[in-house]
C-alpha cells in the first residue's frame, strides 16, 4: 500500500488529497483503542466505534490540511470517496450510514459479507442446499451470525441527499470459501452458495 500511495503523491497537485487509515491494533497502528475494557466496551471497540473514529480523523485532517471546518465536511464540501477493502467495506458502509451527506462515492474491494438474508421459510428444503460438510443447524447458526453482523438497512445517504456512487470489486470465490472456513468455521458448501 505504501508504494501505491507514494506513487500517487508524486502526481500532486493533480491528485486529490488521500488519507489512509488503519483502525486501532491493525496495520501500522499499534496502539490500542482507549475505549477497550471500559464499561460497556469490555469486549473492545465495535465497528460503529471504528466508523466514528474515522469521522473524527476526517474532520481533523480536513481542518488542518484542507481548511474545511466540520460544517463544511458535513455538508459534503470535502467530496469524499471512501475505498474499503475486506472488513473496511462494511466499515465504510457504516460510516456513510451514520454520517449522512458527507460521502460522494464508495469503492468496495473484496468485501466481507455486507448483508445476509438467507431463506429460513417453513417449507425450506435443506437437502437442496446442504452438503456432507454442512448440517441444517450449521446453516441456521451461520445465518444468525451473519444477520447479526450486517444488514441492508438503512439506505445510505451521500451528498445532496442521494445515495453515494458505489463500485464493488469481488474476490476470488475459492479463496473466499477457504477463508470463511478458516476464520468463521463456515462449511465450505455454504460459502460456495453465498458467493455465487
The answer, yes or no, to whether residue 82 has pLDDT greater than 80, is yes
In this prediction, residue 120 carries a pLDDT of 57
> The whole model's pTM is what?
0.58
**CA separation for the pair 108, 166 (Å, rounded):** 7
**CA separation for the pair 190, 146 (Å, rounded):** 12
Mean pLDDT, the chain, integer: 76
Cβ(126)–Cβ(102) below 8 Å? no
| Cell representation of residue 95 | 460510516
* Rounded alpha-carbon distances, angstroms, from residue 33 to 85, 98, 109: 21, 20, 25
The answer, yes or no, to whether residue 93 has pLDDT greater than 80, is yes
- Per the model's pLDDT, the better-predicted residue between 1 and 182 turns out to be 182
Per-residue pLDDT reduced to its tens digit, 137-181: 887 787 777 666 665 566 677 666 766 666 556 667 788 788 878
The answer, yes or no, to whether residue 67 has pLDDT greater than 80, is yes
Query: Comparing C-alpha atoms, which of 176, 181, 196, 182 is closest to residue 133?
Result: 181
Instruction: Report the DSSP pairing between strands 80-85 and 103-109.
Output: parallel
**Cα–chain-centroid distance for residue 154?**
15
The torsion angles phi and psi of 3, rounded to 5 degrees, stand at: -65, -40
In this prediction, residue 149 carries a pLDDT of 62
Average pLDDT over residues 80-103: 88
Domain coordinates of the chain in residue numbers? 2-115+154-163, 122-149+173-196
Average pLDDT over residues 80-91: 86
Query: Comparing C-alpha atoms, which of 136, 149, 157 is closest to residue 180?
Result: 149
In this prediction, residue 117 carries a pLDDT of 52
Q: Which residue has the cell 466505534?
A: 49
Q: Say what percent of the chain tops pLDDT 70.
A: 64
Amino acid at each position: 500500500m505504501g508504494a501505491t500511495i507514494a506513487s500517487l503523491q508524486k502526481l500532486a497537485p493533480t491528485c486529490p488529497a488521500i488519507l489512509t487509515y488503519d483502525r486501532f491494533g491493525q496495520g501500522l497502528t499499534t496502539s490500542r483503542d482507549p475505549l477497550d475494557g471500559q464499561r460497556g466496551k469490555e469486549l473492545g471497540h465495535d465497528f460503529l466505534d471504528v466508523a466514528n473514529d474515522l469521522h473524527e480523523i476526517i474532520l481533523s485532517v480536513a481542518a488542518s490540511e484542507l481548511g474545511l471546518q466540520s460544517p463544511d465536511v458535513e455538508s459534503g464540501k470535502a467530496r469524499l470517496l471512501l475505498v474499503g477493502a475486506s472488513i473496511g467495506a462494511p466499515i465504510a458502509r457504516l460510516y456513510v450510514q451514520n454520517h449522512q451527506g458527507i460521502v460522494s462515492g464508495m469503492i468496495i474491494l473484496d468485501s466481507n459479507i455486507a448483508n445476509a438474508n438467507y431463506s429460513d421459510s417453513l417449507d425450506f428444503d435443506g437437502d437442496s442446499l446442504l452438503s456432507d460438510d454442512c448440517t441444517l443447524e450449521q446453516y441456521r447458526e451461520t445465518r444468525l451470525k451473519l444477520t447479526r453482523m450486517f444488514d441492508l438497512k438503512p439506505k445510505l445517504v451521500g451528498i445532496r441527499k442521494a445515495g453515494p456512487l458505489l463500485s464493488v470489486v469481488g474476490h476470488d470465490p475459492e479463496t473466499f470459501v477457504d477463508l470463511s472456513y478458516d476464520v468463521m468455521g463456515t462449511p465450505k458448501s455454504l460459502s460456495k452458495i453465498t458467493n455465487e
